[in-house]
């Protein structure tokens, strides 16, 4: 079975993790943490980076750093991984889902404007599947309405919008280093920011909110959201070759595009001004029902190819249920992610594409048994 994702672990990765082990600095103090934070900040073009235990708590910590909580609303895209909304709820605030755009699958700035209320405190754009959001329009809205921006960049390390890398647009931005992300630390995350005050507050809250000059004095409730030195060692090794990893992913997408060039298929968007990264090669089949898409995934499995359906929209999940969002619903029902990882070989991609084309013809030949989506 060709998996959807697989981390690339090299001898160098093992060497740095082993080095961290040998020094005895296995917990959340140690030189690799500072090095990883410094180098990841530089990669994003920001002044500060705060490493965290995973990408979800990075979002929660960013909200807490901004003192966003009960009574506050945070605007999120309807089509995202559930962690985006869960972190908002964990902070005690309310996520407000806004539809995405057909053009880039990211949050629609026009929809943000319609969703604003007096309780709105922040916008949380998600650079979905590696495509950067319309940060110019989002920034203008935030300025106009005095809102904070927290980028959820968990899927988009290295993506560029109008010459700047994601992670540098928000008051704060968050990344994930889960095993299937662009680079991994096993589990892990970071906050990036240009604000020394927000970085300091995030560090303080990350470490039980302990006073810097009075040990075991905690003026407010904090968290243990730290990354370990062991994990940071892996992060340093992975980050040292991120350009290579990104270019391998791009080459994979180009090969997919050439072998899956048919009128029935839409693949990863790439708007002018945006340089997306290929976190997940995506295939949308506008003519399909959700049932047909699911059947396609099953047939692919019989051909030895693993794939994933697009996320369910937040507005369809029980705890966030609200008015359906047409674009998010349509993409969610008709999209799937194909195997995408640096060590996927050109012949693997050929095999996947042969399977996709055959499976599509097979599923499309049968009439859909239920109403669309
Ligand atoms: C992966 C992901 C997260 C969560 O990251 P974890 O490190 O798994 O906690 C948050 N948001 C999005 C959009 C993601 O894809």
55 lines ligand 1 (CB under 6 A): yes
For ligand 1, pick from 81, 126, 231 the residue to mutate: most ligand atoms within 8 Å of CB: 81
Q: Which residue has the tokens 């629609």?
A: 108
Q: Which of 86, 83, 152, 107 is nearest to 319 (CA)?
A: 86
Distance between CA 96 and CA 77 in Å, rounded?
8
In the prediction, which pLDDT does 153 show?
98
Q: Which two tokens stand for residue 23?
A: 């020094």
pLDDT digits (tens, 9 = 90+) for 306-339: 999 999 999 999 999 999 999 999 999 999 999 9
336 phi, psi to nearest 5 deg: -145, 155
In the prediction, which pLDDT does 370 show?
56
138 lines ligand 1 (CB under 6 A): no
Distance between CA 349 and CA 354 in Å, rounded?
9
In the prediction, which pLDDT does 367 show?
73
In the prediction, which pLDDT does 337 show?
98
Distance between CA 373 and CA 371 in Å, rounded?
6
Kindly give the distance from the C-alpha atom of residue 297 to the centroid of ligand 1, in angstroms, as a whole number. Answer: 23
Nearest CA to ligand 1 atom 14: 154
Kindly give the distance from the C-alpha atom of residue 61 to the centroid of ligand 1, in angstroms, as a whole number. Answer: 14
pLDDT digits (tens, 9 = 90+) for 10-64: 999 999 999 999 999 999 999 999 999 999 999 999 999 999 999 999 999 999 9
In the prediction, which pLDDT does 366 show?
86
Per-residue confidence in pLDDT tens, the chain, 373 aa: 999 999 999 999 999 999 999 999 999 999 999 999 999 999 999 999 999 999 999 999 999 999 999 999 999 999 999 999 999 999 999 999 999 999 999 999 999 999 999 999 999 999 999 999 999 999 999 999 999 999 999 999 999 999 999 999 999 999 999 999 999 999 999 999 999 999 999 999 999 999 999 999 999 999 999 999 999 999 999 999 999 999 999 999 999 999 999 999 999 999 999 999 999 999 999 999 999 999 999 999 999 999 999 999 999 999 999 999 999 999 999 999 999 999 999 999 999 999 999 999 999 998 766 555 4
Q: Which residue has the tokens 């298929």?
A: 265
In ligand 1, which atom is closest to the CA atom of 54? 7
Distance between CA 178 and CA 153 in Å, rounded?
13
pLDDT digits (tens, 9 = 90+) for 144-157: 999 999 999 999 99
Q: Which two tokens stand for residue 307?
A: 């794939």
What is the enclosing helix (H) or strand (E) of 89?
Answer: helix 83-90
Q: Is 68 helix (H, G, I), strand (E, B) or coil?
A: coil
40 lines ligand 1 (CB under 6 A): no
Write down the pTM of the prediction: 0.97
54 lines ligand 1 (CB under 6 A): yes
Q: Which of 179, 120, 131, 136 is nearest to 158 (CA)?
A: 131
- Tell me how far apart the terminal alpha carbons of the chain are, to the nearest angstrom: 29
């Amino acid at each position: 079975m060709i998996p959807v994702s697989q981390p690339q672990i090299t001898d160098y990765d093992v060497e740095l993790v082993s080095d961290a082990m040998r020094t005895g600095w296995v917990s959340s103090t140690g030189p690799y943490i500072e090095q990883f934070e410094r180098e990841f900040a530089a990669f994003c073009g920001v002044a500060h980076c705060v490493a965290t235990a995973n990408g979800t708590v990075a979002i929660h910590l960013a909200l807490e750093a901004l003192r966003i909580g009960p009574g506050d609303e945070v605007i999120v895209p309807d089509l995202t991984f559930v962690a985006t909304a869960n972190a908002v709820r964990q902070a005690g605030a309310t996520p407000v889902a806004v539809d995405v755009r057909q053009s880039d699958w990211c949050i629609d700035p026009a929809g943000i404007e319609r969703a604003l209320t007096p309780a709105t405190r922040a916008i949380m754009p998600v650079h979905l599947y590696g495509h950067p959001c319309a940060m110019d329009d989002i920034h203008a809205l935030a300025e106009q309405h005095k809102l904070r921006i927290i980028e959820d960049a968990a899927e988009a390390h290295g993506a560029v919008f109008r010459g700047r890398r994601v992670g540098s647009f928000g008051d704060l931005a968050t990344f994930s280093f889960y095993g299937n992300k662009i680079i991994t630390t096993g589990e892990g995350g970071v906050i990036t920011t240009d604000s020394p005050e927000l970085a300091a507050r995030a560090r303080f809250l990350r470490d039980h909110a302990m006073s810097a000059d009075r040990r075991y004095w905690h003026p407010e409730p904090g968290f243990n959201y730290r990354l370990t030195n062991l994990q940071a060692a892996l992060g340093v090794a992975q980050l040292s070759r991120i350009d290579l990893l990104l270019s391998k992913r791009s080459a994979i997408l180009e090969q997919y595009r050439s072998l899956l060039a048919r009128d029935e298929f839409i693949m990863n968007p790439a708007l002018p001004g945006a340089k997306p990264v290929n976190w997940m090669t995506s295939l949308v089949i506008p003519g399909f029902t959700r049932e047909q898409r699911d059947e396609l995934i099953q047939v692919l499995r019989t051909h030895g190819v693993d794939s994933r359906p697009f996320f369910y929209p937040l507005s369809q999940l029980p705890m966030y249920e609200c008015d359906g969002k047409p674009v998010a619903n349509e993409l969610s029902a008709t999209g799937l992610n194909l195997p995408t990882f640096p060590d996927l070989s050109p012949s693997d991609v050929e095999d996947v594409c042969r399977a996709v084309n055959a499976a599509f013809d097979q599923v499309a030949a049968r009439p859909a048994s239920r109403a669309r989506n």
